A and B are shown apart, each in its own frame.
Chain A
């Protein structure tokens, strides 16, 4: 582990002074200073990293063992890779339907939300007037309102139009709820785009709408994708609203299905194998997205943070 910290032991230099190679051209002032506290810190960080990865691997491995094995030795390894737990969870415990619901809801609500927020954010970032300032503020207010405040009124409202216990209703709620964040993020992103191209397009006689569609949208692909992925993550994991608005089993999203699975165990005995398979179904899509678009996620979350 200590080898990973940049060379610590080059103390008493031998007479023929060999200059240390400058790693990546970093000036000596920027290199880490080395003392005990730091080494301990580095060591602890690596422990955290190793434990986190081990934990994830452990969850996946446990999903391949049956409940009795898991309970008798929680540290054991699966004897063979059989997918019984997954197929049970998938077919019997209703995770298949829930996964399908979750995938559809997440994809639909995220795309619609981005599609609606894009033009609004563009307008708010390009036109500066008292009205747009007010509108920006109006959207930002929503960032500070916790979901539980609007939980009950939403339930009552949707009930009036028969949209409770319906995935359409859930989609609408997700779109409305994510609007402040998406508009905020995309406004910050559009502001960071250069104006020159749009001006050139305008000089060439393109209308404002055409400029937006042909010039700005392609330029903003990165930011839009970032917003979309962040929405995917938050909608995939959303629990409180889904738990409130959805009642029938065949419309459960994954988190709700997982909760009901946990609660059933009280009556039917623990099925840890199935539970671990369920956890895997919740975690693995996020892992795939993170591996694939991880940099976008972290950049998106820190975008506009400082300014």
Chain B
């Protein structure tokens, strides 16, 4: 533990020395270079075989009509066209976008507000530790719990009854599930992003705040001219992280509100990940590997475009401090 703490300031302060560029140490450098194959080889092979090769295979499969077994027939882009004409996919895609943008916006607004409050709050360590914990729990748990909390005789309704709500909404009705999922996602991810933003805000050296106080800056000015510019890069990283992880949201949808019988969640709440899984592995109809992979590739394209755009939009001159 102590080893890490002593190293941390070093990491935070000053740019890391560029290894390998120094004039001395050439002998060990030369020796090191020889280690390329034994050192990087295994990682490279595992990664290539189990990640990169499947990724390329995915592109190929998405261009074919294939039921998993039997012949593959090359059909070009017709899987993509077919997927985009499928109302189910459009619904799933729309839901993914809702999660990405609406939940993302709410999470970021809340996380930032929490960061500002937490920055100089008493017992901030305790609060921070508690709000981070949901990130470590499988999202399945929240899905299952929601089923218990919102079921007709469940906790929410028993709470509402004394307040005079005798006709509570049918929380777990198929049309209401997705907004509930969005709310749950907000509750479970805000803490994680707060923790990351906090790490950024904590890096701001105190003399900036002192300077603000001396110059008589208001809280808003301090926010606008000190805190925001100095944490901008952390915001960018968080936005990228959220984009990547929101595309993968699957577990919570899969079990949200308990089971719906066939083991497949109501289509109103599907995300792209669920669409991909069901199209390929549901066992209800002939698996359409081509279409399923095409839908996954579309989500990958969405991620790539958004990440590039985000990097563009968030790019600022790096502020050294």
Interface residues of A (CB under 8 A from B): 4-6, 27-33, 35, 38, 41-42, 45-46, 48-49, 52-53, 56, 59, 71, 74-75, 116-117, 119-120, 122-129, 131, 135, 138-139, 141-157, 172-173, 175-177, 179-180, 183, 191-195, 198-199, 202, 207-209, 211-212, 219, 221-223, 226, 233, 236-237, 239-240, 243-244, 255, 258-259, 262-263, 265-266, 270, 272, 275, 279, 282-283, 286-287, 289-290, 294-299, 301-303, 305-307
Indicate if the CB atoms of A127 and B32 lie closer than 8 Å: yes
Cα distance, A304 to B57, chains bound together (Å):
32
Shortest Cβ distance from A194 into chain B, in angstroms?
8
A-B contact count, CB below 8 Å?
Answer: 323
Q: Chain A residues with Cβ under 8 A from B44's Cβ?
A: 120, 135
Indicate if the CB atoms of A117 and B43 lie closer than 8 Å: yes
Cα distance, A289 to B133, chains bound together (Å):
11
Partner of B299, one of A146, A272, A289: A146
Shortest Cβ distance from B185 into chain A, in angstroms?
15
Count of interface residues, chain B, beta-carbon cutoff 8 Å: 120
Indicate if the CB atoms of A239 and B251 lie closer than 8 Å: yes
Q: Chain B residues with Cβ under 8 A from A6's Cβ?
A: 122
Indicate if the CB atoms of B51 and A145 lie closer than 8 Å: yes
Which are the 10 A-B pairs with shortest beta-carbon distances? A176-B50, A29-B213, A120-B43, A153-B57, A302-B199, A41-B117, A150-B54, A153-B54, A119-B39, A128-B20
Indicate if the CB atoms of A266 and B259 lie closer than 8 Å: yes
Whether a CB of chain A sits under 8 angstroms from the CB of B314 is no
Partner of B144, one of A152, A173, A258: A258
Shortest Cβ distance from A110 into chain B, in angstroms?
14
Cα distance, A180 to B34, chains bound together (Å):
23
Indicate if the CB atoms of B121 and A5 lie closer than 8 Å: yes
Cα distance, A226 to B237, chains bound together (Å):
20
Whether a CB of chain A sits under 8 angstroms from the CB of B285 is no
Cα distance, A41 to B124, chains bound together (Å):
13
Shortest Cβ distance from A85 into chain B, in angstroms?
14
Cα distance, A199 to B20, chains bound together (Å):
11
Cα distance, A156 to B303, chains bound together (Å):
24
Partner of A46, one of B49, B127, B158, B212: B127
